[in-house]
Structure 1
Amino acid sequence: MSAHLLAPRSDRVAAPSHRLLERGRPPARWLIRRWYDVRVHHPERFPAEGPVVVAGNHVGFVDGPLMAIFAPRPVHALTKLEMFDGALGWFLRRSGQIPLDRTNADPAAVRTAVRVLREGRAVGVFPEGTRGPGDLTTIRSGAAYLALVTGAPVVPLTFLGTREPGGTSSSLPPRGARLDVVVGRPMPVDAVSWPRTRDHVRLTSAALRAHMRSGLADALEETGRSLPGPLPQGDRDE
């Protein structure tokens, strides 16, 4: 039986486009590096093939583009629905990013992400759910759930330097800033067939948070960087 027929079924959702994502990454990397000093650490840790759940801490506005463009393999990132308006929305869809309603249950986004993983590609998630200190104090369960459904390993990405201390949620680093993207060690997750219980998801999510926080500490020590601290009072990542 096709994996797409397993619960949750993923045969009734369209697979995101990936041609522009794959072909556009080299020129996009060149262009971004004309503006920023982007350094990717330990790309060899990223699995060369097969499904991968990419889980990043969320510090600044450019984290999503950096994940899609600089991860060692193309990443279809779950991206907040509000970003899919106008020309930007057209580009995001053409580049294979997955719209996500953060305020309501979004089974279509989940099934689309599951389809991508079942086809052996990479899905990106920001488990903190919003931009902020990036310290992984709390995370949501989406990354753990996707890994449990598909048996995909979770690869942490740590973003450092993508927001200046005191910067707002929509601020950009100054030109020439060093941006560090640290690939963490993969966390293997065994697939659990339906019905998956809340305890399965809760325990896996707790293990993932501990794994990501350990990787964050290693990344801070290795790069000599620090996190930017909380957003300014009253600022929210809408």
Structure 2
Amino acid sequence: MFKRDVIPSIDPSLGRGPDPERGESEGTGKGRGGRTFSDNGRSPWGRRLKQKIVAFYEFLGEWMYRIVWVLSYPVLRLFFRLEVRHPERIPREGPIILAANHHSHLDPWILQIAFPRRITYMVSFAFYKGMGWWFYRMHKAIPLKEKGLNKEAFVRGLEVLKESGVIAIFPEGWDNGRVEAWHGNPGVAMLSSRSHIPVLPAKISGAKEALPKGALFPRFVKITVTYGEPIPFNGAGKPNKEALRRMTDLIMERIKGLS
């Protein structure tokens, strides 16, 4: 289902290990005579320490995910009367790209509780700078730069999909303000077209009223998450800018039309 040559097609050097036949040593990949340090100057000991730290965060993240889910589900059901519509449309296995509207800080929490599989979010890098940086790192969220290319984030998203994971993106971003304009960023369409993985639209209703931007305390209103039929873009190939815009508009129209 997943096109195996997607990542190499972006940059053949990404993820490539040292090649002894080319005289490359581990840590440089630049030929003979290189230092025993990586490209960013980290020693082998430093790399091992970083790997242990990353593994520890992943371990904590897995347990935190389970604990948060167990505690959050009854809260959402009891106080917010959470309703999940059309759960039968959710693929129980295999890679999927989840696209949802975004008008409240509660959205990532609600979407994860309303989804039966663990989600890897692609979020603004600004969230990594705030008080909740540890939460996003433990949950292996992929940071997105506000400006410029997000090549590294794009490749990481493809890697998650290649491992049959779930990627969630809020195409509207976080700058939509108080007006529901339903305009999306083409990143989700690009990820789908390059990976050949369908997009599952989801509409979160009630979160904006429960905790609008600027509010400190939530209001206990009904929250509904509605899933649509997966949207395949298998024949998109390498779409141009105009085609990506049409694909993005289709995704946003499907999300808006869910009820």
TM range (shorter): 0.7 to 0.9
Preserved CA contact (<8 Å) 1:60 1:162: yes
Bigger mean CA offset, 48-57 vs 59-68: 59-68
Q: Alpha-carbon deviation of 1:184?
A: 1.1
Q: Alpha-carbon deviation of 1:118?
A: 1.1
Matched to 2:186, the amino acid is S
Q: Give distance in 1, aligned partners of 2:254 and 2:236.
A: 25
Deviations 1:120-152 (A, max 9, x none): 11101111122443442x211110011011111
Q: Would the alpha carbon gap of residues 191 and 121 (structure 1) be closer, same or farther in structure 2, given more than 3 Å must change?
A: farther
Q: Give distance in 1, aligned partners of 2:9 and 2:155.
A: 9
Q: Give the structure, 1 or 2, with the largest relative contact order (CA under 8 Å, sep 6 or more).
A: 1
Q: Would the alpha carbon gap of residues 149 and 2 (structure 1) be closer, same or farther in structure 2, given more than 3 Å must change?
A: closer
Structure 2 counterparts to residues 151-230 of structure 1, below 5 A: 151-164=196-209, 168-171=212-215, 174-190=218-234, 196-199=238-241, 202-219=242-259
Q: Give distance in 2, aligned partners of 1:152 and 1:51.
A: 7
Task: Tell me the equivalent position of 1:150.
Answer: 195
Q: Give distance in 2, aligned partners of 1:23 and 1:11.
A: 31
Q: Alpha-carbon deviation of 1:168?
A: 4.8
Secondary structure of the equivalent of 1:49?
A: coil
Deviations 1:92-115 (A, max 9, x none): 111222211122322221111111
Bigger mean CA offset, 116-125 vs 207-216: 207-216
Q: Alpha-carbon deviation of 1:177?
A: 1.3
Secondary structure of the equivalent of 1:77?
A: strand
Matched to 1:182, the amino acid is T
Preserved CA contact (<8 Å) 2:184 2:248: no
Structure 2 counterparts to residues 1-238 of structure 1, below 5 A: 3=5, 5-8=7-10, 11=15, 17=58, 19-20=62-63, 23-24=66-67, 25-85=69-129, 88-130=132-174, 131-132=176-177, 133-136=179-182, 138-164=183-209, 168-171=212-215, 174-190=218-234, 196-199=238-241, 202-219=242-259
Q: Give distance in 1, aligned partners of 2:130 and 2:227.
A: 32
Structure with a larger share of its residues in helix: 2
Q: Give distance in 2, aligned partners of 1:170 and 1:73.
A: 30
Preserved CA contact (<8 Å) 1:68 1:76: no
Q: Give distance in 2, aligned partners of 1:68 and 1:11.
A: 30
Unaligned runs of 5+ in 1: 220-238
Q: Alpha-carbon deviation of 1:188?
A: 1.2
Report the structure number with the largest CA radius of gyration.
2
Preserved CA contact (<8 Å) 1:147 1:191: no
Q: Alpha-carbon deviation of 1:189?
A: 1.8
TM-score normalised by the chain length of structure 2: 0.70
Preserved CA contact (<8 Å) 2:103 2:212: no
Secondary structure of the equivalent of 1:37?
A: coil
Percent of paired sites with the same residue:
25
Q: Would the alpha carbon gap of residues 172 and 157 (structure 1) be closer, same or farther in structure 2, given more than 3 Å must change?
A: farther
Preserved CA contact (<8 Å) 2:184 2:252: no
Deviations 1:167-196 (A, max 9, x none): 752436744211111111110121666xx2
Matched to 1:203, the amino acid is A
Q: Alpha-carbon deviation of 1:72?
A: 3.0
Q: Give distance in 2, aligned partners of 1:4 and 1:212.
A: 25
Q: Alpha-carbon deviation of 1:162?
A: 1.0
Preserved CA contact (<8 Å) 2:228 2:255: yes
